[in-house]
Amino acid sequence: MAFVWYTIHPHQYRKGFHSSMAKSPPKDLNELMQRANNMAGIRLADIAFDNNISVPEHLRRDKGWVGQLIESELGALAGSKPQPDFIHLGVELKTIPIDHKGKPLETTYVTVAPLVNIQGLTWQDSVVFHKLQHVLWVPVEGERSIPVAERRVGTPILWQPNAIQAQQLQQDWEEIMELIALGKVDKITARHGEVLQLRPKAANSHALTESIAEDGSIQLSNPRGFYLKIEFTQQILTNAFG
DNA sequence: AAGTGATCATAG
DNA sequence: CTATGATCACTT
């Protein structure tokens, strides 16, 4: 849908886009949003060129490519730390693949789920809670019919959960964590949870990590991660553009 | 076509 | 393995 592109000025941006060298972290929220807004309407090939990054033919073996490209353009600190992308701003960056109608094509990965040592862990102490406190959503065309290089970035959305969304997230998180605490992690499916779901998050189905068994002892299970369901992220986009 | 379970690359 | 970035691809 066209609404995703409502702030786009293709010709103006295309001309003066290439120029920046290595990006430094944005000094404040305004600078971050200015950079994000300047990407709206730009093709991934142009952003890649600007960052001296090559464009893969497809994402099958480069599933995190788009996210890392946008991180580079926005000056997010590289590295794999369990911290917000822009720790000094308290903002988490998430790219989200959308179809031609502006609907998310995939669920959104949030974080790995803790499966042991979770006694006393509360919603407000959780990584899910903290990561979703402030998110910069960057929509990107994701239909496979569009060559990766030609996919365009949409208008960014700076989001914070409203009261209802916060409640939905907390309820799902608490129900899922309760099952994990009871040693039923291997019985949890992606169908649990209204807006937040638990799914495998590993190199493959044979990867193992410690978890709680039904008798309270330690067992091994496939690592899991928390993901936001499509309807939830679709609502975020609708609320911003609709 | 949607949704769930599986998978890919990289850094430490 | 853990954690970052996610999308793939098979089942329903």
Measured CA A189 to C1' C11 distance, in angstroms: 14
Burial of A109 (0-12, 13-18, 19+ CB in 10 A): middle
State the Cα–Cα distance between residues A92 and A32, nearest whole angstrom.
12
A44-57 tens-digit pLDDT: 999 999 999 999 99
SS3 of residue A93 by DSSP = strand
Find out whether A141 and A151 touch, Cβ atoms under 8 Å.
Answer: yes
pLDDT at A15 over 50: no
State the Cα–Cα distance between residues A172 and A167, nearest whole angstrom.
9
CA A132 to chain centre: 10
SS3 of residue A2 by DSSP = helix
The single-letter code of the amino acid at A50 is D
pLDDT at A29 over 60: yes
CA A234 to chain centre: 13
pLDDT at A86 over 80: no
User: Sign (positive/negative) of CA torsion A238, A36, A61, A134?
Assistant: negative
pLDDT of residue A38: 97
Measured CA A105 to C1' B1 distance, in angstroms: 12
- Residue A84's pLDDT band, with cuts at 50, 70 and 90, is confident
Give the strand pairing for A209-212 and A135-141: unpaired
Task: Assign domain A10-241 one CATH number from 3.30.9.30, 3.40.600.10, 3.30.300.130, 3.55.40.20.
Answer: 3.40.600.10
State the Cα–Cα distance between residues A112 and A114, nearest whole angstrom.
6
pLDDT of residue A17: 60
User: Cβ–Cβ contacts within 10 Å for residue A26, how many?
Assistant: 20
- A38 CB and strand B closer than 7 A: no
Measured CA A61 to C1' C8 distance, in angstroms: 9
